[in-house]
Amino acid sequence: MIKNDLFLRALKGETVSRPPVWMMRQAGRYLPEFRALKEKYDFFTRCRTPELAAEITVQPIDIIGPDAAILFSDILVIPQAMNIEVEMKDGVGPWLPNPVRTMADVDKVVVPDVHEELGYVFDAIKLTKEQLDNRVPLIGFAGSPWTILCYAVQGQGSKNFDQAKGLCFSQPQAAHKLLQKITDTTIAYLKAKVATGVNAVQIFDSWGGMLSPVDYQEFSWKYIQQIVDALKDETEVIVFGKGCWFALKEMAESGASAIGVDWTCSARNARYLSGGNITLQGNFDPSRLLSPPGEIKKMVKQMIDAFGKDRYIANLGHGILPNIPVDNARAFVDAVKEYGTY
């Protein structure tokens, strides 16, 4: 039995004494302990070494005390497993030397045996579960098929992902074939994560907001829906689409347990657009963690008041920034834990 199951209870819509709290990218770059490991090991070595991934996952649980852990990994382990080369370059971020831009390129992309290609992730889950010792639940995750396509086609991060959108609009057959391959791989990957012991999964549609509402339905949402359909009877599924306020209704009706909301959508609008009956997660502006700790605590209370304590998971509206002081991250977590005691 998990000792602190607040996160899982909120996902199920149960009444809670306070909302649970965790932070996207909490296992990472703002922590000095993480940076010490970063000095010794390159990014994908950290992802592929179960002992390192487990250590990094558990660090924030010990240091700032959130109500859930999220496995240290990366959304781009999926394309790596699919025969798409991915590097992580300092100062550049993800770098894919051979972008997928034609049907011939798509044909070279494989749907792998996830146990063969991504076994190191499942080993990391087992080690992490041992180290967590049932203190809090463990979240597994994957990128949305559209978000993975963005990197696979663009070849790197982008402000507009024009190459990715160009493939969808000029070669839709190739785009849909690639999206389906990514979807099939992601479903197998997340199912294996659940079988290995994660307690919930989150789908990150980081670049969904790059698409118009009509194109979002065509090139992103219908593939996310396939993933939700495949997983919802096995575990709790959270869908997070950055900039995707226009799709909150579809997300709420998808069978997912919760929807992540970014900081550009107010609590009131998120409740209204989602129909008011699903757990919402979010949506503190990550840059606001640069405010003084006292100000952070005041704003967190206002955020929870706006969402309501039930059917709500306190989180950021996107990943924590590398320049956030640990004390400020801790103030965010503590403010949620103190809610109702003011």
Token pair belonging to 304: 């929870």
**Main-chain dihedrals φ then ψ at residue 200, nearest 5 degrees:** -165, 160
- Say how far residue 244 (Cα) sits from the centre of its chain: 14
| Cβ density class 153-166: b for 16+ within 10 Å, e for less | bbbbebeebebbbe
90 is an annotated ligand-binding site residue: no
25 is an annotated ligand-binding site residue: yes
Find out whether 261 and 280 touch, Cβ atoms under 8 Å.
yes
28 is an annotated ligand-binding site residue: yes
Q: Which residues, 6+ apart, have CB-to-CB distance to 99 below 8 Å? A: 105, 152, 153, 154, 155, 163
307 is an annotated ligand-binding site residue: no
318 is an annotated ligand-binding site residue: yes
74 is an annotated ligand-binding site residue: yes
| Cβ density class 222-247: b for 16+ within 10 Å, e for less | bbbbbbbebbeeebbbbbbbbbbbbb
46 is an annotated ligand-binding site residue: no
9 is an annotated ligand-binding site residue: no
73 is an annotated ligand-binding site residue: no
27 is an annotated ligand-binding site residue: yes
Beta strands in 164-253 (DSSP E): 200-205, 236-241
Q: Which residues are annotated as a binding site for substrate?
A: 25-29, 44, 74, 151, 206, 318
Q: Which residues are annotated as a binding site?
A: 25-29, 44, 74, 151, 206, 318
